[in-house]
Amino acid sequence: MRLFQPASKLALSALLPAGFACTGGSPAPGQNAQDHPGRAFYAQYCATCHGADMDGGMASSLVDGQWEFGDSREDIYRSIADGIPEAGMPAYRDVLDERQINLIVDAIQGVEYVPVSRVVEDEPEEYEVLETLDYDVRVEVWVGEGLEVPWGIDFLDASRALVTERAGRLRLVENGQLHPDPIADTPPVVAQGQGGMMAVTVHPDYEENGWIYLAYSRALDDGTSGPSQTSVVRGRIEDHRWVDQETIYRAPEDSHTNARQHFGTRVVFDEAGYLYFVIGDRGDPPTSQRLDSPNGKVHRLWPDGSIPEDNPFVDDEDALDTIYTYGHRNQQGMDIHPVTGDLWTAEHGPRGGDEINLIRAGKNYGWPEITYGIHYDGRTITRERFRPGIEPPVWVWRPSTALCAIEFYRGEQFPLWRNHLLATALRNEDLRLLQVRNDRVIHEEVILRDRGRIRDVTTGPDGAIYLLTSRPHQILRLTAEREVLR
């Protein structure tokens, strides 16, 4: 790596932020070189040209040399990331990730490295570091108080997120601070059993249209009790109030029931602009196989609630036009694969038999005729695991983890995990990473456990992984402390 050619006479020590020291490219006082990961990366990628002690070699010294291509932290970062072709220095952006480059800059500038086992005194919250196969992962409490059974989360922008509470509230979090007041005038929900305010999803073009989608258990009379069913609405937020509400989906009246379980649900958009949502079997398994019932189905609509003309059952007069797939038990996870564009869902099994499914239009996914689970009292549901005409699951857990939300990782914080599937669990209280190749799961790793029932997971705009937990009711934030090879 060749960073700089001789030019102006500005010593490195003059570039350092106040409070930092640099002595001949060494780590800060009291710190051994081998304890600074930036020094390790420097030794691997930079020392051949700039010298083991940063005092020059084939390229100029970084200690008392002269800086032609900029002396600020940003300039040094850019020189490493983008290279300096005219000086013969290659770009390292595709070799090193953002954090690794920043560590090298820290080493050059003599910035002290704080080991993960040490809590910085002036930080507002302590944190823990977990070991995974690819990273040491820092786990912090992003929101620690004020939430009650948080159910769904989505980001409005880089600093603001919306969170639903099952009790029926929509909350705003800004820069890790929970607004003390819920969003006013959101629709009434039947917050009983497994019902309540569930999914929140921001429209992909939110900055232009302001639409926000909510999925919740809605009463037949729009109250807070009585027969209910999963419903989807959209609206906007103005002055901390819910306005401009439109009903996107309301189930047939005869599907409303006093049952208080298996509402589903999630709401996602694909690249073509379709909206997908899921409804569970509502505790009535045979309805999952009936095409005249919304239960146990993945549904597909346009964002305004209109029916796509190519929905698989749109020409079947005995079927509901919204149905995309059927034969599901209770899906509480759904996401679009970032590369293939395929829809994947996570489905609660009974006693055992939690499933990850790859969704194909018009297909039957088997419940209750095919399952890996049994009744909660131990009785057999069916001995069949496969049947022609029924789609098998991609992945199965037996015993059950109480599988909930899923998310394909899309961020820059964990580049080795990009396009892998994150899966949360309620009963097992864990977060799992599934490595997906060619529509198959080839490896599974538990990366977090025993931090509460994990209801939702999302990738934030900053690339961090955000988790909603209950018991305790919190939002956790996961970032990469360092990349490792184990």
Q: So which residues are the catalytic ones?
A: 262
**CA 205/CA 200 separation, integer angstroms:** 15
Tokens of 379: 């009785």
Strand partners for 326 = 297, 364
Q: Report the DSSP beta bridge partners of residue 177.
A: 174
Contacts of 479 (CB under 8 A, 6+ apart): 137, 138, 140, 413, 463, 464, 465
Left if phi > 0, otherwise alpha if psi is -120 to 50, otherwise beta: which for 344?
beta
Q: What are the structure tokens assigned to 263, written together? A: 């509402």
Contact 235, 244 (CB under 8 A): yes
Helix (H) or strand (E) holding 33: none
DSSP bridge pairs for 340? none
Contact indicator for 307, 277 with CB cutoff of 8 Å: no
Q: For residue 194, which of 292, 140, 274, 261 has the smallest C-alpha distance?
A: 261
Q: What angle do CA 403, 404, 406 make, to 5 degrees?
A: 105
What's the Cα-to-Cα distance from 280 to each of 192, 212, 263, 368, 474, rounded to whole Å?
A: 16, 22, 5, 12, 26
Token digits of residue 197: 């305010």
404 SS3 class: strand
> Can you give the C-alpha Rg of the chain in angstroms?
26
Tokens of 365: 């996914």
Q: Rounded CA gap, 163 and 272, in Å?
A: 26
* Tokens encoding 168: 């029926």
Rounded CA separation 281/3 (Å) = 62
